[in-house]
Chains A and B, each alone.
Chain A
Amino acid sequence: MSGTRLSSGGLIDRARRIDFNFDGRSMHGFGGDTLASALLANGTGIVGRSFKYHRPRGVWGGWFDEPNAIFSVRTPKGSLPNVLGTTTALAPGMDIRSVNAWPNAGFDVKGGLDLFSPWLKAGFYYKTFMKPDWHLFEPMIRRMAGLGTLEPDMVEGYTADQVHAQCDLLVVGGGAAGLAAAEAAARQGKTVWLVEDHDTLGGGLYRMGDRIEGLQPTDWVAARKAAIEDAGGRILTHTTAFGVFDHRLYGLARQSAVDVAPTLYRLRAKECLLASGAIDRPVTFGNNDLPGIMSLEAGLEYLGRYGVRVGNAIAIAANHAQAASAAARLSEAGAKVSLFDPAKGDLAASGRRGVKALRQGKRAEAVDCVLASAGWTPVLHLWRHAGGKLRWDEALATFLPAEAPAGMRAIGAANGTFDLDQALAEARAFAMGEPYSQATTRFTLTPTLPKPGAKGRQWIDFQHDVTLKDIELAERENYVSVEHLKRYTTLSMASDQGKTSNIPGLAAMAALTGKTIPEVGTTTFRPPFVPVPLALYHGHHGGQNFRPLKRLALENVHRSSGAALGEYGGWLRPAWYGDRPGPEAAQSEARMVRDAGGILDASPLGKIEVMGPDAEAFVNFVYYNTMKTLKPGFLRYGFLLTERGVIFDDGVVFRMGPNRFVISSSSSHAEGVTGMLESWRQDGNDPDRIFVHDTTNHWSTVTVTGPKARDVTRSLGLDVDLSADAFPHMTFRETVWRDVALRIARVSFTGEVSFEISVPASSAKALWTALADAGRPLGVRPMGIEALSILRAEKGFIIIGKDTDGETMPHDLGFTLPRTKKPTTFVGDRGLHTDAANDPDRRQLVGLSAIGDTPLPTGAHLIDGTDRRSFGIVTSSYMSPNVNRPIALGLVERGTQRMGETVTLFHLGQTYQATLTSPVAFDREGARIHA
């Protein structure tokens, strides 16, 4: 093959020379070149090696239909794997390397694999390497097959912009039909978006270079562009409409260069005109994968857009009306052109590193390039994404649009309207909402489809090395459904997703099974239409924006107090304070609380107000525990259940007044509980008599806990008698502190005397500072969640979702009374009396006392000595600094009946011994909490 850059013609800017390297050789191209056009202009024939057989491959297509020209590219910004050469703009300093070829595409060490091709047929790897285990062979095979490699300096970490937009009309494709349609619609006052994946509008107009409506193509295109923009239309170039999603949502990917961040437009378009054009179908003949064999359309594109004549002696193998005019165009450009009609007899190419000759029967022509076309295939991927139907057209030997999806019509070549004048008329009519009936086409062809049974290898899928023989084999082994054929042979599963191979593949299977092509059917078309960077989808939702945590009003105070912050239930909270390692700090803080006291930021605890005349009945209904007997000023601990009877959340209910409750849900669960309350309120209750306000964000809560908690709290000077008699456990008071509302509750998660103090968040810093200042001389300092976790485990207090799972019911934790005695209905009541709920073997909460000094691993299973069946699990485990031994909680079958039993535990290959005990390891009498 010997491509040549012509001295004139094309859209390229010959004044802008671009230097680049290909497989270590210096070359140059011009502004407007793609990697492929620049390589062709430099006479490069072999651009890569095929996926499986390492056959030499050249450029086949002119745009997104290219199966072969895939490169690793290094730009000043880094390296990029698997770059499609035909659609990527050449940029200064690019280092381009062929993929799947070593040391380079021209000389590939593994090229010898092709000699073994009779054994490397479809399914070969799986059939051969099944025994003893495919996974033994997989790494070696993956190294030999496959395309590019990831380099350490890969371009990544860029942030894609994502935009929501809407319009009246989206026109997909900036060729003649798309431009005419967009102009007509915009002039009517519609909001119009036109997207074109090239950087230049005009589509296929440059191939033949003919005048259009009396103008040169570039002038006609410029006039249409100006008219569209003057009427307010938006034109996006280098933008691909890559998918259609529910309710007329279109995904548009705009990428101005290969190494810059792309932009995603999520465009909701009332109507869409699909002007996505048509691509050439390959002709299936012997050795049709040789470098130098290209689509006819590509040969004309390289000439018309890039001023590159792809060969000196060119054979055109086409079965349709365009062959003669294409021959004239190429001859005019200086090529020696011969014409073959593939319908008139089998073709075969010969050559090793590139095509040398094309034969048909006795006729042979020495050529360095073959331009082949078996007809045009409308590009209807988006049509199928949207749910449009296809019909097989015998005369054009391709699928054409049939029943249209809602809000979409196809125009121009995409609709099988291949004549330019008709395409313009159709586009303008459809854009105005007027009817148009297709006239008789001047584009006639003699259908040419693959013929099974031929000698030699004929390629169907170039990128995945699927030959006609592979399809014959699939048929013999009964993989005749298209979906089976696809997976068995990998036909159309490469990165080009079968843009060129689909119809030849289906046609071959139809011929083999004696069916028609519509009976064989197509595989499903799925987005994206072309590969798009994953960064497009995640946009700026990376790093901290991926799953942002909730932040405390006091975060800056904690940071300046030396807190180590960590995630706890969706919140960023202090894990511990100070410069020490976490485990050491947690032990020390947990000891401090029992000796003196600690100050904890408990703000994430839910504060969900339930108000209204039916509030009491409602709270009583949603809670497992009886809440209607709760008196104002009192708190009660309770469970919210699912209808299955499983624990959904635990927390404390404050009764503020006759018609007002505050539900203090667990810290990670305020939104979940609010949602649960809302759905019961509206579905099953009278929503005009119950109102639910989640006020969690308005308040900050600081908990003072420990033997000196009362002394510290007293420093606030509240008008509340803090003595144990006047202010007992499980009560609360409302008051005012420094002119703001303050709520103080006696409730404890540590087992020590605790005051849980809530103020509006803007006063949190003042409250925290006052308490910390008062605590310091008493040895009462800030404590983190890690210490709290130890303290509550010492007391056998559970954390929902850690010490309970998707089966745990209240009676498994020892809360049995409401189950049998609560007189009114409640959520989950019947679920607590199913056979499963009554099972005597249910897992129950226990304590585990490890034998030895090492804490049990959380997650360890209790195992039976005989069959190693798990009959329980460790849910929480710590070293306790206050009882000076390892402690643990667990859920164990019939646990409460097994107290004192010694059990064996298993975790990651190790076994442990422990004794089952009460969950309460510290202050079993519970005296301290009431002090």
Chain B
Amino acid sequence: MRDDTHKWDAPFPASSVLTGEVDGKACRVSSANMHRLTLISGSGVQTSSELPLIGWPEIAPDGPFALSLRRDRILEVNGPARTDGWDELKSLAISDMTDGYHAFSVDGPGALGLLHRGADVFAETPSASVARLIFGLPALVYRTGETAFSLVFTRAQAVAAYSALSTALRHCAPVRFKERP
């Protein structure tokens, strides 16, 4: 029976922004807002979704899209409202997960470098799924621009992810490589 409150940082405010340099290049981390997330599973869900399907390293559009998670699972981002449960007609399992995740935007020329502190995620290695481990935590990692990324963690692990991102950003070694021509 121990009071360990002091050992753990209080949850970060949603408005907090981290900035720093990675390999000599600017990088910014902030919380991103996604107003509806719907988890949909079904054996044909990868081909039947009307929304653009995003894997790695595809760039997600501004409007609604679907993240490819598994062979038989997608996560619709800002898509249409759907009813939870088993859709008999379409043979789809549907769950509202809007409050189940917390998303961070990582952008700037140093953004990919920050991701490399947590995972071996390279544009040269495409993947059918955006689900991976980064900083040891399960996450959905996808691109939202040339040097902009979205890192989506489960809500319960958002504080851990924030702490990992801020520690990594704070301790980046000041090594600056010459750009490849």
Q: Is the CB of B84 within 8 A of A564?
A: no
Known: A551-B156, A612-B86, A697-B154. A545 touches B163 (CB 8 A): yes
The yes or no answer to A23 lying at the interface (CB within 8 A) is no
The yes or no answer to A229 lying at the interface (CB within 8 A) is yes
Q: Is the CB of B42 within 8 A of A575?
A: no
The yes or no answer to B58 lying at the interface (CB within 8 A) is no
The yes or no answer to B90 lying at the interface (CB within 8 A) is no
Q: Is the CB of A698 within 8 A of B95?
A: yes
The yes or no answer to B50 lying at the interface (CB within 8 A) is no
Q: Is the CB of B2 within 8 A of A611?
A: no
Chain B residues lying within 8 Å of A477, measured Cβ to Cβ, are none
Chain A residues lying within 8 Å of B39, measured Cβ to Cβ, are 693, 695
Cα A159 to Cα B117 in complex, Å, equals 13
CB < 8 Å neighbour of A760 from B98, B116, B137, B179: B98
Q: Mark B124-160, 1 if CB is under 8 A from A, else 0.
A: 1000000000011100000000000000001111111
Known: A555-B11, A693-B39, A697-B99. A159 touches B4 (CB 8 A): no
B-contacting residues, A229-274, CB 8 Å: 229-232, 234, 236, 254, 261, 263, 266, 268
Q: Which residue of A has the minimal Cβ distance to B101?
A: A697
The yes or no answer to B61 lying at the interface (CB within 8 A) is no
Q: Is the CB of B163 within 8 A of A698?
A: no
Q: Mark A163-188, 1 if CB is under 8 A from B, else 0.
A: 11110000000000000000000000
Known: A164-B116, A548-B157. A254 touches B175 (CB 8 A): yes
B-contacting residues, A644-672, CB 8 Å: 656-657, 659-660
The yes or no answer to B1 lying at the interface (CB within 8 A) is yes
The yes or no answer to A549 lying at the interface (CB within 8 A) is yes
Q: Is the CB of A550 within 8 A of B156?
A: yes
Cα A474 to Cα B172 in complex, Å, equals 50
Cα A583 to Cα B93 in complex, Å, equals 46
Cα A571 to Cα B160 in complex, Å, equals 12
The yes or no answer to B85 lying at the interface (CB within 8 A) is yes
The yes or no answer to B88 lying at the interface (CB within 8 A) is yes
Q: Name 24 interchain pairs, CB-CB below 8 A, sorted by A.
A: A159-B171, A163-B113, A164-B118, A164-B121, A166-B124, A232-B181, A540-B164, A540-B168, A544-B7, A550-B160, A556-B11, A567-B4, A575-B2, A582-B1, A582-B3, A583-B1, A657-B86, A693-B41, A695-B100, A697-B97, A697-B156, A760-B98, A761-B155, A762-B99
Q: Tell me how far the C-beta of B168 lies from the nearest C-beta in chain A, rounded to whole angstroms.
A: 6
The interface of chain B, by Cβ under 8 A from chain A, is 1-5, 7-11, 39, 41-43, 72-73, 84-86, 88, 91, 93, 95-101, 113, 116-122, 124, 135-137, 154-160, 163-164, 167-168, 170-173, 175, 177-181
CB < 8 Å neighbour of B93 from A556, A566, A611: A611
Q: Tell me how far the C-beta of A682 lies from the nearest C-beta in chain B, rounded to whole angstroms.
A: 10
Chain B residues lying within 8 Å of A566, measured Cβ to Cβ, are 1-4
Q: Is the CB of A541 within 8 A of B136?
A: yes
CB < 8 Å neighbour of B99 from A550, A556, A582, A699: A699
Q: Is the CB of A659 within 8 A of B2?
A: no
Q: Is the CB of B85 within 8 A of A693?
A: no
Q: Tell me how far the C-beta of A262 lies from the nearest C-beta in chain B, rounded to whole angstroms.
A: 8
Cα A261 to Cα B168 in complex, Å, equals 13
Chain B residues lying within 8 Å of A159, measured Cβ to Cβ, are 167, 170-171
Label chain B's interface by main secondary structure: loop
Cα A609 to Cα B97 in complex, Å, equals 12
Q: Tell me how far the C-beta of B67 lies from the nearest C-beta in chain A, rounded to whole angstroms.
A: 15
Cα A659 to Cα B84 in complex, Å, equals 12
Q: Which residue of B has the minimal Cβ distance to A698?
A: B100
Chain A residues lying within 8 Å of B1, measured Cβ to Cβ, are 566, 575, 582-583, 586, 786
Q: Tell me how far the C-beta of B123 lies from the nearest C-beta in chain A, rounded to whole angstroms.
A: 11
What are the 7 A-B residue pairs with the smallest beta carbon separation, nearest first?
A: A548-B160, A232-B180, A698-B100, A550-B156, A564-B3, A691-B93, A697-B100
CB < 8 Å neighbour of A565 from B8, B156, B173: B8
Q: Is the CB of A612 within 8 A of B136?
A: no
Known: A191-B180, A550-B157. A575 touches B3 (CB 8 A): yes
Chain B residues lying within 8 Å of A234, measured Cβ to Cβ, are 177-178
Q: Is the CB of B93 within 8 A of A693?
A: yes
Q: Tell me how far the C-beta of B3 lies from the nearest C-beta in chain A, rounded to whole angstroms.
A: 4
CB < 8 Å neighbour of A164 from B73, B120, B173: B120
Interface centre among B2, B86, B113, B178 (most CB of A within 10 A): B86
Chain B residues lying within 8 Å of A741, measured Cβ to Cβ, are 84, 96
Q: Which residue of B has the minimal Cβ distance to A544?
A: B163
Known: A161-B171, A575-B2, A657-B85. A544 touches B98 (CB 8 A): no
B-contacting residues, A557-589, CB 8 Å: 559, 563-567, 571-572, 575, 582-583, 586
Q: Is the CB of B72 within 8 A of A161?
A: no
Q: Tell me how far the C-beta of A196 lies from the nearest C-beta in chain B, rounded to whole angstroms.
A: 14
Chain A residues lying within 8 Å of B8, measured Cβ to Cβ, are 544, 549, 565, 572
Q: Is the CB of A691 within 8 A of B116?
A: no
Interface centre among A163, A567, A572 (most CB of B within 10 A): A163
Chain A residues lying within 8 Å of B124, measured Cβ to Cβ, are 166
Chain B residues lying within 8 Å of A555, measured Cβ to Cβ, are 10-11
Known: A548-B157, A548-B160, A555-B10. A229 touches B178 (CB 8 A): yes
Q: Which residue of A has the minimal Cβ distance to B125?
A: A166
Cα A552 to Cα B156 in complex, Å, equals 6
Chain A residues lying within 8 Å of B41, measured Cβ to Cβ, are 611, 691, 693
Q: Tell me how far the C-beta of B15 lies from the nearest C-beta in chain A, rounded to whole angstroms.
A: 14
Cα A501 to Cα B105 in complex, Å, equals 54
Chain B residues lying within 8 Å of A166, measured Cβ to Cβ, are 120, 122, 124
Q: A540-B164, A698-B97 are in contact. List 4 more A-B contacts (CB 8 A).
A: A159-B170, A163-B116, A609-B95, A657-B86
Q: Is the CB of B98 within 8 A of A231?
A: no
Q: Is the CB of B157 within 8 A of A695?
A: no
Q: Is the CB of A611 within 8 A of B72?
A: no
Q: Tell me how far the C-beta of B152 lies from the nearest C-beta in chain A, rounded to whole angstroms.
A: 11
Q: Tell me how far the C-beta of A691 lies from the nearest C-beta in chain B, rounded to whole angstroms.
A: 4
The yes or no answer to A688 lying at the interface (CB within 8 A) is yes
Cα A545 to Cα B39 in complex, Å, equals 29
Q: Is the CB of A553 within 8 A of B155?
A: yes
The yes or no answer to A160 lying at the interface (CB within 8 A) is yes
Q: Is the CB of A609 within 8 A of B93?
A: yes
Cα A548 to Cα B167 in complex, Å, equals 13
Q: Is the CB of A563 within 8 A of B5?
A: yes
The yes or no answer to A387 lying at the interface (CB within 8 A) is no
Q: Tell me how far the C-beta of B23 lies from the nearest C-beta in chain A, rounded to whole angstroms.
A: 9
Q: Is the CB of B100 within 8 A of A545?
A: no
Cα A556 to Cα B42 in complex, Å, equals 37
Known: A268-B120, A582-B2. A263 touches B175 (CB 8 A): yes
Q: Tell me how far the C-beta of A62 lies from the nearest C-beta in chain B, rounded to whole angstroms.
A: 26
Q: Is the CB of B88 within 8 A of A659?
A: yes
Chain B residues lying within 8 Å of A550, measured Cβ to Cβ, are 156-157, 160
Q: Is the CB of A545 within 8 A of B160?
A: yes
Q: Mark A334-373, 1 if CB is under 8 A from B, else 0.
A: 0000000000000000000000000000000000000000
Q: Is the CB of B172 within 8 A of A161?
A: yes
Interface centre among A164, A191, A699 (most CB of B within 10 A): A164
